[in-house]
């Protein structure tokens, strides 16, 4: 029997093209899942409050949809805003509302889960007070010299932040000033470092730290021994 591999060649090619078309359609319409993080944005925080703890700064969303829909998804343009206007000191809880994203997802995509389901914030009253500036001096002057005095200008700065932390604070240190090998007075402009916590300086301008480095004074001469008085 004679085999004719090119018989009905056109029909065979049409069948291959049609099968490929069905495969592409099936692949494009199949549903896949994708996860991404959406940043939490706090809005309308009253000026008299400070956020001292935030349960989550991201909401993880898992989106199901066709491959075409997933390609059209732009997670970098999404955010989850929380309105804090009218908030009071204490714990505030906010349920993550997925309906906010419905009109921002491409057709054929839907959110199937989110984590966390609730965002918890701890709010505290804000306070402000002036505290002493303590220059942070490190190193030793050159041999034969000593640090005679250290002062900061201004000597006090106003610190603002969470009330409990502000009230515990009595002083703030500056950035380190190195006097290693110095043979004369130094003046440096440095910033104040309130340290870890929910504190900041009201005026972020640097302070001037002046270090008076002077020669070590020579030892005082020993008093001359007094001559013994003779007896009369």
- pLDDT by residue (tens digit) across 72-120? 888 888 899 999 999 999 999 999 998 888 888 888 888 888 999 999 9
* pLDDT grade for 180, boundaries at 50, 70 and 90: very high
Please give the backbone phi and psi of residue 111, each rounded to the nearest 5 degrees, phi first.
-85, 130
Q: What's the mean pLDDT in 38-45?
A: 95
| pLDDT at residue number 174 | 96
Check if the beta carbon of residue 46 is closer than 8 Å to that of residue 126: no
CATH 2.170.120.30 domain locations along the chain? 31-124
Q: Which of 94-98, 124-128, 211-215, 217-221 has the lowest mean pLDDT?
A: 217-221
CA triplet 78, 82, 84: central angle to 5 degrees? 155
Instruction: Quote the CA–CA distance of 183 and 213 in Å, as a whole number.
Output: 6
Domain spanning 126-215, CATH architecture:
Beta Complex (2.170)
Going by CATH, does the domain composed of 31-124 fall within 3.10.180.10? no
Instruction: Quote the CA–CA distance of 81 and 94 in Å, as a whole number.
Output: 11
Q: What percent of the chain has pLDDT over 90?
A: 59
Helix (H, G, I), strand (E, B), or coil: what is residue 16? helix
Instruction: Quote the CA–CA distance of 12 and 23 in Å, as a whole number.
Output: 17
Check if the beta carbon of residue 131 is closer than 8 Å to that of residue 89: no
Top-confidence residue, 137 or 232 = 137
Instruction: Quote the CA–CA distance of 216 and 219 in Å, as a whole number.
Output: 9
Q: What percent of the chain has pLDDT over 70?
A: 84
* pLDDT grade for 23, boundaries at 50, 70 and 90: very low
CATH 2.170.120.40 domain locations along the chain? 126-215
* pLDDT grade for 141, boundaries at 50, 70 and 90: very high
């Amino acid at each position: 029997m004679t085999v004719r591999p090119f018989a009905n060649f056109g029909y065979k090619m049409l069948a291959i093209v049609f099968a490929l078309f069905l495969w592409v359609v099936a692949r494009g319409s199949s549903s896949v899942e994708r996860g991404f993080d959406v940043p939490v944005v706090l809005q309308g925080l009253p000026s008299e409050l400070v956020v001292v703890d935030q349960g989550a700064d991201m909401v993880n969303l898992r989106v199901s949809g066709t491959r075409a829909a997933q390609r059209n998804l732009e997670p970098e343009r999404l955010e989850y805003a929380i309105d804090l206007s009218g908030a009071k000191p204490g714990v505030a809880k906010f349920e993550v509302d997925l309906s906010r994203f419905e009109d921002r997802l491409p057709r054929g995509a839907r959110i199937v889960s989110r984590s966390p389901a609730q965002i918890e914030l701890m709010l505290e009253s804000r306070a402000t007070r002036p505290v002493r500036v303590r220059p942070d001096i490190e190193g030793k002057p050159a041999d034969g010299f000593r640090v005679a005095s250290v002062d900061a200008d201004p000597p006090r700065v106003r610190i603002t932040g969470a009330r409990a932390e502000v009230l515990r604070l009595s002083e703030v240190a500056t950035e380190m000033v190195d006097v290693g090998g110095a043979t004369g007075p130094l003046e440096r402009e440095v910033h104040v470092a309130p340290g870890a916590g929910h504190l900041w300086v009201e005026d972020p301008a640097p302070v001037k730290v002046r270090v008076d480095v002077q020669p070590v004074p020579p030892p005082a001469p020993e008093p001359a021994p007094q001559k013994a008085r003779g007896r009369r």
